[in-house]
Amino acid sequence: MNNSITQYFRKEMFPHIWCPGCGIGIILGAILRAIHSLGWEKDDIAMVSGIGCSSRITGYVDFNTMNTTHGRALPFATGIKMANPSLKVITVMGDGDCAAIGGNHFIHSARRNIDITAIIINNMIYGMTGGQYSPLTPTGKFGSTAPYGNIDQTFDLAALAASAGASYVSRSTIFDVNQATRFIKKALLKKGFSVVEIISDCPISFGRINQLRTPVQMLEWIKNITVPKKVWDKLSEEEKEGKFPTGEFLDIDIPEYTERYQETCNRIQ
Amino acid sequence: MDKKNNIKVYKNEKTTITVNENWCKSCGICIHFCPKKVLVSNEKGFPEAKNIDDCIHCNLCELRCPDFAINVKKNEIAVEHSVNQKGLED
Ligand SMILES: Cc1ncc(C[n+]2csc(CCOP(=O)(O)OP(=O)(O)O)c2C)c(N)n1
Ligand code: SF4
Ligand code: SF4
Ligand code: SF4
Q: Domain holding B45: CATH number?
A: 3.30.70.20
Element (H, E) at A187: helix A177-189
Which atom in ligand 1 lies closest to the alpha carbon of residue A123?
20
Cβ neighbour number for residue A267 with a 10 Å cutoff: 7
pLDDT tops 60 at residue A29: yes
Nearest CA-CA distance, residue A214 and chain B, Å: 8
Structural contact between residues A246 and A173, judged by C-beta atoms closer than 8 angstroms: yes
Domain range holding A144? 3-268
Q: What is the largest CA-CA distance in chain A?
A: 62
The DSSP result for A67-99, as a single string, is E-STT-HHHHHHHHHHH-TTSEEEEEEEHHIII
| Partner-chain residue, chosen from B64, B82, B87, that has the shortest CB–CB distance to A5 | B82
pLDDT at A143: 98
Asked if residue B30 is part of any domain, the answer here is yes
Number of folded domains that form chain A: 1
The DSSP result for A133-182, as a single string, is --TTSPTT--BTTBTT---SPPP-HHHHHHHHT-SEEEEEESSSHHHHHH
Distance CA(B27)–CA(A214), nearest Å, equals 8
Nearest CA-CA distance, residue A31 and chain B, Å: 11
Distance CA(A264)–CA(B83), nearest Å, equals 41
pTM reported for the whole predicted model: 0.95
Asked if residue B27 is part of any domain, the answer here is yes
| Partner-chain residue, chosen from B27, B81, B87, that has the shortest CB–CB distance to A215 | B27
pLDDT in tens, A61-97: 999 999 999 999 999 999 999 999 999 999 999 999 9
The CA dihedral of A86, A168, A162, A242, to the nearest 10 degrees, is: -130
- Tell me the sheet residues that pair with A228: A246
Residue A97 CB–ligand 1 contact under 6 Å: yes
ipTM of the complex: 0.95
Number of folded domains that form chain B: 1
Q: Is the CB of A33 less than 8 angstroms away from the CB of B63?
A: yes
Amino acid at B79: V
Distance A173 CA to ligand 3 centre (A): 19
Domain range holding B14? 7-74
Q: Domain holding A50: CATH number?
A: 3.40.50.970
What φ, ψ does residue A156 adopt, rounded to 5°? Answer: -100, 95
pLDDT in tens, B8-55: 999 999 999 999 999 999 999 999 999 999 999 999 999 999 999 999
Residues of A214-251 as b/e, b for ≥16 C-beta within 10 angstroms?
A: bbbbbbebbeeebbeeeebeeeeeeeeeeebbbbbbbe
Asked if residue B86 is part of any domain, the answer here is no
* CB < 8 Å to B34, chain A: none
Asked if residue B89 is part of any domain, the answer here is no
| Partner-chain residue, chosen from A1, A4, A33, that has the shortest CB–CB distance to B69 | A1
Element (H, E) at A268: helix A257-268
